[in-house]
Amino acid sequence: MTSSPAATHPPDLEAAAAALGGRLGAGSFAAALVLGSGLGGLADALAAPVVVRFDELPGFPRSGVAGHAGRWIAGRLEGRRILIQAGRYHIYEGLPRELVTAPIRIAAALGVPVLVLTNAAGGVRPALGPGTLAVLVDHVDLMEGGFPEAPSRAGRAAHPYDPELRRLAVRCARQVGIDLQERTYAAMRGPSYETPAEIRMLRRLGVDLVGMSTVPEAVAGHALGLRCLALSLVTNWAAGIIPAPLDHAEVIDVARKSAANLEGLLREIVRELPAA
């Protein structure tokens, strides 16, 4: 699944934000979109793209996970200027949360008002099979460690997902003929997939989807004042629901084959985002 990035000290975010802003050029962004495993195709649709790799900024390693390109792309989509983060860092790569959430803090420093997170997730319930799209209403954080962002605003982390943006996503999904589920996501540390016993536990906790990302970014973005929306594409049933073993290459393959619906939904959401 991974080829771990080199160990690194937390980057100088002020210097990194200045460097990225200088490369991307002047102008405000309507939103930042984080594209998860196998979901980077939307980046190729941007008009007048400007591309910067993660490791071109001081203190940032390359992304070490298959299916994660590890780059920022600024450009126009549906008439709006947006910043795409194609790929992400993960806790299971042995990286500190400060680095996992650093791209979000850079987006906030660049004045981005809306953060749209996407991920490839496992369906914890039999009804949530491959190809299902869901918007997150809540999460269960089963990763280890605390969050470094804005301790004085820690109370904000209780409800990181913006209800108005969630309603917008549901309305946009209806407009493009997608049955968008409103579901709860569990964030696990990884890198191994969950056992059948863990999946049974998650169901009893009220969890619908499971993955290894998104929650650190959502909590960080919310603490920094960004309005957060999170979307999951179910790429597999979780362990124990079907007898076949889980495989990361298959997850990426399903994500790529099913990404068209998510990309269509993201286009509609970007088009309908309220002006900053």
Q: Catalytic residues, which ones?
A: 37, 68, 90, 92-93, 120, 212-213, 236, 248
**One-character DSSP codes across the chain:** -B-PPPP-PPP-HHHHHHHHHHHH-SS--SEEEEE-TT-GGGGGG-EEEEEEEGGGSTT-PPP-BTT---EEEEEEETTEEEEEEES---GGGT--HHHHTHHHHHHHHTT--EEEEEEEEEESSTTS-TT-EEEEEEEEEESSS---S-GGGGGGGGS-B-HHHHHHHHHHHHHTT---EEEEEEEE--SSPPPHHHHHHHHHTT--EEESSSHHHHHHHHHTT-EEEEEEEEEEEPBTTBSSPP-HHHHHHHHHHHHHHHHHHHHHHHHHPPP-
